[in-house]
Amino acid sequence: MSVNECRVVTYNCHGFNQGSPYLQDLLLSNDIICIQEHWLSSSDFLKLSDLNKDFTVIASFAVDSVLGCGVLRGRPFGGLCIFVKSDLIAKLNIICKSDRLIVIQMNNLLICNVYMPCDDLNLFTDILGMISDYIVNKDRSVDHYLVAGDFNCNFLLPGPSNDVFRCFANSCLLSNTLSGASHGNLVTYRHNTLNHSSCIDYIFMSSVLCNKLCKECCSSG
């Protein structure tokens, strides 16, 4: 399988019930979908796997830790999953599966799906350190890697999280796939009640892979 032929997308669905209609649309036109905040428990896994039988689903369930201590109070939270088109998989290895990070190897591609914390620089830095370790210690068969998800910060603006991430991205030779976009109008998150919008969802790729994607986009006009 050539990773150049894959369509990859990241989506914070803000709850499965609310986000599943759009997620179903994404499954019809993409090969790898990184999902954040599905808000489901492990007992609801079939809700994910039954969405589209053409996909293999790898998921983590943040609410399980709370449900294990009793009844959930308040709204559900968190949860990650990666949908991978099953007919593309020659090799699949689950490397990490936690509340805020899923890392898998699919063929020659390392995929990291992340849901970063808000206003917790120590945890933010710890997660980047984990991803860096997985990239540095990746299997010899891995040619490319990507880090996708909800980063809960806008890398177009100055801030301590951005400084930490730039250091991480440079050391791991990661490129922002949005670098060629018109940043002024870029919005990936919108809160209608607070009238707030920002760009906090990204896909970063190994530089070699990102350069190939950029060339293909340019040549296609």
Q: What is the pLDDT of residues 68-126, one digit of tens each?
A: 555 444 455 689 999 999 999 999 999 999 999 999 999 999 999 999 998 899 999 99
Domain assignment present for 194: no
Banded pLDDT at 221 (limits 50, 70, 90):
very low
What is the tens place of the pLDDT at every residue in 16-39?
A: 999 999 999 999 999 999 999 999
Domain assignment present for 30: yes
Tell me the one-letter amino acid at 38: H
Residues 214, 206 contacting (CB under 8 angstroms): no
The yes-or-no verdict on residue 46 having pLDDT over 70 is yes
Domain assignment present for 57: yes
pLDDT confidence of residue 72:
45
- The whole-angstrom distance between residue 149's C-alpha and the CA centroid of its chain comes to 3
Q: Could you tell me the residue range of the domain that residue 112 belongs to?
A: 7-183+200-219
Higher pLDDT, 186 or 41: 41
Domain assignment present for 134: yes
Domain assignment present for 190: no
pLDDT confidence of residue 207:
83
Domain assignment present for 1: no
Sheet holding 55-60: strands in order across? 8-12, 32-36, 80-85, 55-60
CA proximity to 109, closest of 138, 142, 133, 149: 142
The domain spanning residue 76 has which CATH number?
3.60.10.10
Domain assignment present for 60: yes
CA separation for the pair 208, 144 (Å, rounded): 8
pLDDT confidence of residue 77:
60
pLDDT confidence of residue 121:
93
Please give the tally of structural domains in the chain: 1
Domain assignment present for 2: no
DSSP state, residue 98: -
Mean predicted confidence (pLDDT) in 135-141: 95
CA proximity to 168, closest of 184, 186, 151, 181: 151
Sort strands 196-198 and 55-60 into parallel, antiparallel or unpaired. Answer: unpaired
Beta-carbon count within 10 A of 66 CB: 16
What is the tens place of the pLDDT at every residue in 144-191?
A: 999 999 998 887 777 888 889 999 999 999 998 876 555 556 666 555
pLDDT confidence of residue 1:
44
The yes-or-no verdict on residue 215 having pLDDT over 80 is no
**Token pair for residue 189?**
């998150």
The pTM of this model reads: 0.87
pLDDT confidence of residue 114:
97
Banded pLDDT at 220 (limits 50, 70, 90):
very low
Mean predicted confidence (pLDDT) in 204-214: 80
Banded pLDDT at 198 (limits 50, 70, 90):
low
Residues 1, 88 contacting (CB under 8 angstroms): yes
